[in-house]
Structure 1
């Protein structure tokens, strides 16, 4: 008799960043430690962003996190307090990452959520779609992320099954397949293209390092296919490039 299979945690393969306010906010409606524990219990990896101040240089760790957010290595950013938003937006702009973050939010590949209506409004004014949690607590904020990353996350119907992309890999018919950073960047670009053929030059732009050679793109595609265990998710279009094997409606 075979052992029963255990279902994967709801947010397996997801990375969630918490943007903290530059100064302590009182009263503190969202306890950061409770929020971290709640998110970890869902299977997600949690990154706490160092509080940012406009007048100071951006810390190296915050710059790395901004790059991750802009390049598909983070699935959601949470704002427990409205005071975190202005400095976060400033850091993205100073790092030349704001436009890339906008593109990811508009493609529904990055979730921004807050407990404060003022924070949601500030993000939306910056051209970044954001949602408000259903209440003021850490649990409410975590539930908002679960709803957006699990229940209403964009999916594609492909020839190998139902596909969803996360920062740590992909879900194919709810089976999680971990992928490297470069493979996730490649899959995300094809996922957003939704069946449109991407040239090698377009794909080279999204791979880590950017502007990669056609040969580097071919190697990245080969490694992705190997990681997918032979699933024919990425199709070669002769003399044009590659496309996701989406199923037409």
Structure 2
């Protein structure tokens, strides 16, 4: 609670005074927070995660922190839950009309507060704020590894091929360049981040493939 600081964001149209002092919101008593995983492509290198716009939240959890801050309860909300969405203000300041039946994971596309207000109505509770989580790591051999967005996109492409060869031409759009040397650099950085050079195998004159289990 004490480390939110400059990460606190006011509702669209509200003044920054709504956030309290520089230590972030001044919360007293029990607090409910909405935690969402975002698949937004904003701020990524062109093509990292495809060209689909907007944002969805396939992971959504409501966290209740007790007044004494000694315990907490976490409730997961299924991504396909259909909810009534109240009128809300999007991040660009436009008003989004109320809707009767909306899939809950798509509400993040209008901004975190549209999702927050819908969850508050669903839970019949006051939700103080939303925490947005974006992927920046992968788990390999039980280790959590920090990997760049382009590295994650590359790892996903190789994994989807299920051991088949991925050509350099298929990798280039992920990197937003036509420079073939950039593929070698990206592969090298992925191997370094994973701490395993054998994770990605080079197939001479064809491309790259992910090492299969047992190799």
The alignment's TM-score, normalised by the length of structure 2, stands at 0.46
**Structure possessing the higher radius of gyration over alpha carbons:** 2
The alignment's TM-score, normalised by the length of structure 1, stands at 0.41
